[in-house]
Amino acid sequence: MARRYLVAGNWKMNGSKDYVADLSKALANESFDNVDVVVCPPACFLPLFEKQNFALAGQDISVHEGGAHTGDLSASMLAEVGCGYVIVGHSERRDDHGETSELVAQKAKAALAAGLVPLVCIGEPLEVREAGTEESYVGEQLVPLMNLLSDEELARCVIAYEPVWAIGTGKTASPAQAQAMHAYLRAQFAKRNAELAEGIQLLYGGSMKPENAEELLAQKDIDGGLIGGASLKAESFIAICQAAK
């Protein structure tokens, strides 16, 4: 079965009520048959989205279901306000909040338990890429996830490969570099279960924009994109969704 494309716009700590309205209106005029379109705004804006032709995602969750955790949100809260997805393990969370791959795996598990699809981010920093050890680095980031989740749970995850040196820098992994890593990732899943490897959606993230999206998305093992900067303008986000179509 052919894998569908998924394009997710990660607003990070950006956006406004006006942009909620503008983007919703712009997307309402589009149709994306073969593409799952996902919008990941700051959580405070989630309830402002009305009926949409796209899915909503949170940018992070707690591993806890509730209780005394000031400032945190649970997976079930995001589900309750209409999310179908949640980003976990973004490199900015790993850097700003010291999140480990073990914690990220627990967050993915919590997301699945609440019926959300976790968009699990992995990716190597520049020094690792320069040392040529990016595959083993990224492979290590996957280990806790592989250990904690069953095959059936893994099949409900989406993996986003985001080389840290390409995030927000304007530098993009070349289509060949991105494809090589995606093939490596799919091979890691194949060691576990061939059907899982064939079905799992693998996204690329890191300075994807309308100018480079088509070539990246044409790679055999790239099933979509996690888009930061270019998701903050309706026109460029839609152009990337179109490129996936």
Which residue of the set 90, 99, 134, 182 is catalytic? 90
What's the 3-state SS for 102-135? HHHHHHHHHHHHCCCEEEEEECCCHHHHHHCCHH
Q: What is the closest distance, in whole angstroms, from the C-beta atom of residue 215 to ligand PGA in the complex?
A: 16
User: Under 8 Å CB-to-CB from 30, ≥6 apart: which residues?
Assistant: 53, 238, 241, 242
Q: Is 205 in the site for ligand PGA (CB under 6 A)?
A: yes
- The reply to whether 208 sits near ligand PGA by the rule CB under 6 A is yes
Q: Which is nearer to ligand PGA, 89 or 197 (CB)?
A: 89
Which among 126-134, 142-150, 177-185, 203-211 is the span making contact with ligand PGA, rule CB under 6 A?
Answer: 203-211
Indicate whether 145 belongs to the interface with ligand PGA (CB under 6 A). no
Q: Does 206 bind ligand PGA (CB under 6 A)?
A: yes
Q: Is 50 a catalytic residue?
A: no
Binding part of the chain for ligand PGA, among 14-22, 44-52, 71-79, 201-209 by CB under 6 A, reads 201-209
15 touching ligand PGA, by CB under 6 A: no
Q: Give the bridge partners for 17, in sequence order.
A: none
Question: Can residue 226 be called a binding residue for ligand PGA (CB under 6 A)?
Answer: yes
Q: How many angstroms separate the CA atoms of 175 and 110, rounded? A: 33
Residue 227 interacts with ligand PGA (CB under 6 A): yes or no: yes
For 78, the token pair is 């995001």
End-to-end CA distance of the chain: 17
Query: 8 pairs with which residues across the strands?
Result: 38, 226
